[in-house]
Amino acid sequence: MKKTTDEILWQRYRDADQAAFTELSRRYYRKLLHYGLKFTPNVQLVEDAIQELYIHLWLYRNTINQTDYVKYYLMKAFRHQLFKMFRKLKTTTEISEVSEFAFFESSSEDTFIEMESDRIANSQVQQLISTLSPRQQEVIYLRFFHNLGVEEIASQLSINPQSVSNIIQRAFHKVREMWPQNPIVTYAS
């Protein structure tokens, strides 16, 4: 099942294949969790929203259409579920910071240098991103962390594509204005 495409799994899930649904759930759990944590630091609330979404998907599988964009469908449905829960709880939300590190294995000294450089760069980028409006942060997150296109983002946020492009351009302009002269200190010579 792990090498089966999302689209095939989706079709099997719609045909009541529990193994396919389990694989889709496993495949997207972390992505949905990470996306939800962009709206609130309340991990329990985000996990509950994921669970509610999965229950809804399973119970109403007969009425759910086929899609060629499973990731997009799940993210949009999850966002809807999360905001539905926010409305129920009357919770105000904040987009929290993201911390993602990626590095390659090498010598311990090289690894330390890379980690320190990554930490500094990540910190600087996070500082800049935190100056953006919540809407700009969400659009940047969807565009660059989930590789969604402008049309997909527009549909997910219920705004027009030109607005998405404008939000991205304004965010880039603001980040460029605030970018430090020497953005990343490196320790390697």
3-class DSSP assignment, residue 163? helix
User: What value does the mean pLDDT of the chain take?
Assistant: 80
Q: What's the token pair of residue 146?
A: 């989930």
Specify the amino acid at residue 128.
L
**pLDDT attached to residue 111:** 53
pLDDT at 89: 80
Contact 32, 74 (CB under 8 A): yes
* Domain at 6-89: CATH code: 1.10.1740.10
Q: Tell me the per-residue pLDDT of 46-105, one tens digit each, with 9 for 90 and over.
A: 999 999 999 999 998 888 888 888 988 999 899 999 988 888 887 443 444 333 333 333
pLDDT at res. 33: 92
Determine the straight-line distance between the first and last CA of the chain, rounded to whole angstroms.
47
The confidence score (pLDDT) of residue 58 equals 92
On whether the pTM is more than 0.85, the answer is: no
Residue 125 has pLDDT above 60, yes or no: yes
pLDDT, position 110? 54
Q: What is the mean pLDDT of residues 145-162?
A: 89
Which single residue is written with the structure tokens 């045909």?
A: 15
Q: How confident is the model at residue 129 (pLDDT cuts 50, 70, 90)?
A: confident
Nearest CA-CA partner of 179 in 133, 137, 129, 145: 129
pLDDT above 70: percentage of residues in the chain: 78
pLDDT(38) > 50? yes
Element (H, E) at 78: helix 70-89
Give the residue extent of every domain in the chain: 6-89, 108-178
Mean pLDDT along residues 108-124: 65
CATH number for 108-178: choose from 3.30.1360.120, 1.10.10.10, 1.20.1250.20, 3.40.50.300.
1.10.10.10
DSSP 153: H
> Minimal CA–CA distance to 79: which of 139, 136, 35?
35
Report the range out of 41-50, 61-70, 109-118 with the highest average pLDDT.
Answer: 41-50
Per-residue pLDDT, averaged over 121-148, amounts to 83
